[in-house]
Amino acid sequence: MLAEIKGLNEECGVFGIWGHEKAAEITYYGLHALQHRGQEGAGMVISDGETLKQYKGLGLVNDVFKDANFSELKGNASVGHVRYATQGDGGIENVQPLYFRSQTESMALAHNGNIMNAYKLRGELEEEGRILQTTSDTEVLAHLIKRNGNQVNETTIAEALNHIVGAYAFVILLEDRMYVALDPRGLRPLSIGKLGDSYVVSSETCAFDIVGATFEREVLPGELITISDKGIETTRFALREQRNMCAMEYVYFSRPDSNLNHVNVHASRKRMGIELAKESPVEADVVTGVPDSSISAAIGYAEECGLPYEMGLIKNRYVGRTFIQPSQELREQGVKMKLSPVRGIVEGKRVIMIDDSIVRGTTSRRIVRMLKEAGATEVHVRIASPTIENPCYYGIDMSTRKELIAANHSVDEICEIIGADSVAYLSTEGLENAIVKDKTLHQGICKACFTGNYPVTERNQKAVTNTES
């Protein structure tokens, strides 16, 4: 049984580039493309071959870099990060990449994922007399690498990674080289691309399209890649395991124009909608999706059941996390910031409302009420993923079991709580069919938050070192 205490999540995006004279500028555009992966902080560290320079701040990428003078951020290599902070850890010191100076070499680290044994490792490091400056998991890796006065190289990184249990995608930048690593189960996405002669690395392939790079390949589970002016070298720090790419990356987290493990996110979401319509059809007049993440699934659902897909809900795209939210009193008067129903579409209609997932149930309850107030005669909720009954320990902010509505209520009870006329979820088989389109290309997904079957636990991730690629 896994403990209910989660480590600090790093539900984030990483981007890196090697060998380009406009490294900082390209990193800025790369981070902009990854903005959906984290809105609380952004940063980059640039190398000019001799020194590293850091630029970071709290807020959206545009806010953080609005005063940046890119002609002063000179260097041919850079690593960047967008951060999604969970409660209580939103300070500037936790904004990445974390930057460590030493007399011999400096190092910057950017991380997406969650180190499950970070608390234990932190205790061990503190006992050795090390003083950690942040509450971020990422700092633990830096100290593990530099333990015993080690230099940073493939062996010391591999050794450090073999002490870590969890899900992680790391990019490490030094003055004259860059390292890229993915956890042995490949829970988080990470890809390599080319931009002319330069190498780029990104959490999601959508960033390659935006900077004009071409996709080369996915980083493999347990792979450690070194990029320098000599080119690219690969080694393995862990035996290759069954891949377990996070299913929620497809369901909700990633951008529709990204490909994960050779599968396009929009296409997989559309197939989730098709599977859902096959499993749970219902008589209605229109199908609508909750913008933005549910639109692909709603299109698939409508197509499969032969009903019109309509824009029954509109999202105000200018509402950010930092926007002043209306008080409870104003909210009750009907002030809606993020979503509004389109009365002309839903009035007098039986509406099928597709959402990608239900976590706590708050969003669905609000939307059902909104649609009914706008005149919908019936609201049938269809969820394009299975019931989330288990917390995520691998870096997606998915609450504790106590807060997960499906962990504590049956589907019938959920229907009553959110005030819908009917509720149905996609089955786990349906989800798998939608994602694992081509079994020869796709090796497997993590579905632990739906099934409770966790692919990585402190017990099953043994320290295995095998430096053969």
Catalytically active residues are 12
Min separation Cβ 416 and ligand AMP, Å: 15
Nearer to ligand SF4, 247 or 426 (CB): 247
- Is the separation of the CB atoms in 381 and 312 below 8 Å? no
Residue nearer to ligand SF4 on the CB measure, 219 or 246: 246
CB of 395 to ligand SF4, least distance (A): 7
Contact pattern for ligand SF4 over residues 186 through 215, marking x by CB under 6 A:
-x----------------------------
Residue closer to ligand AMP (CB basis): 108 or 297: 297
Question: Which region among 92-100, 244-252, 280-288, 410-418 touches ligand SF4 (by CB under 6 A)?
Answer: 244-252
Start-to-end CA span in the chain (Å): 34
User: Do residues 213 and 200 lie in contact, with contact meaning Cβ atoms separated by under 8 Å?
Assistant: yes
In whole angstroms, the minimum distance from the beta carbon of 388 to ligand AMP comes to: 8
Q: Taking the complex as a whole, how short is the minimal distance between the CB of residue 454 and ligand SF4, in angstroms? A: 7
- Binding of ligand SF4 by 396 (CB under 6 A): yes
CB neighbourhood size of 63 (10 A)? 14
Angle subtended by helix axes 265-279 and 295-305, to nearest 10: 40
Q: What is the pairing mode between strands 191-195 and 178-182? A: unpaired
What's the closest the beta carbon of residue 397 comes to ligand AMP, in angstroms? 5
Q: How many degrees, rounded to 5, is the angle at CA 61 between CA 57 and CA 67?
A: 65
Q: From 284, 345, 339, 282, select the one nearest 311 (Cα to Cα).
A: 345
Question: C-beta of 290: minimal distance to ligand AMP in Å?
Answer: 6
Question: Contacting ligand SF4 (CB under 6 A), which of 248, 272, 368, 383?
Answer: 248
Q: Is 449 in the site for ligand SF4 (CB under 6 A)?
A: yes
3-state secondary structure of 27: helix
Site stretch for ligand SF4 (CB under 6 A), options 282-290, 320-328, 442-450, 459-467: 442-450
Give the closest residue to 424 by CA, choosing from 282, 272, 289.
Answer: 282
CA–CA distance, 299 with 270 (Å, rounded to integer)? 6
Is 374 among the residues that bind ligand SF4 (CB under 6 A)? no
Residue 187: name its binding partner from ligand AMP, ligand SF4, none (Cβ under 5 to 8 Å by kind).
ligand SF4
Return the number of the residue (68 or 314) whose C-beta is nearest ligand AMP.
Answer: 314
Site mask for ligand SF4 (CB under 6 A), range 169-188, x = bound? ------------------x-
Residues that bind ligand AMP (CB under 6 A): 252, 290, 293, 355-364, 396-398
448 binds, among ligand SF4, ligand AMP, none (CB under 5 to 8 A by kind): ligand SF4
Angle CA 189–183–453, to nearest 5? 85
- Kindly provide the residue ranges of all beta strands, DSSP E only, lying in 39-142, ordered along the sequence: 41-47, 52-58, 77-83, 98-100, 107-115
Q: Where are the beta strands (DSSP E) in 342-468?
A: 350-355, 378-383, 422-425, 445-446
C-alpha span between 207 and 213 (Å, rounded): 8
Residues making contact with ligand SF4 (CB under 6 A): 187, 246-248, 392, 394, 396, 398, 446-449
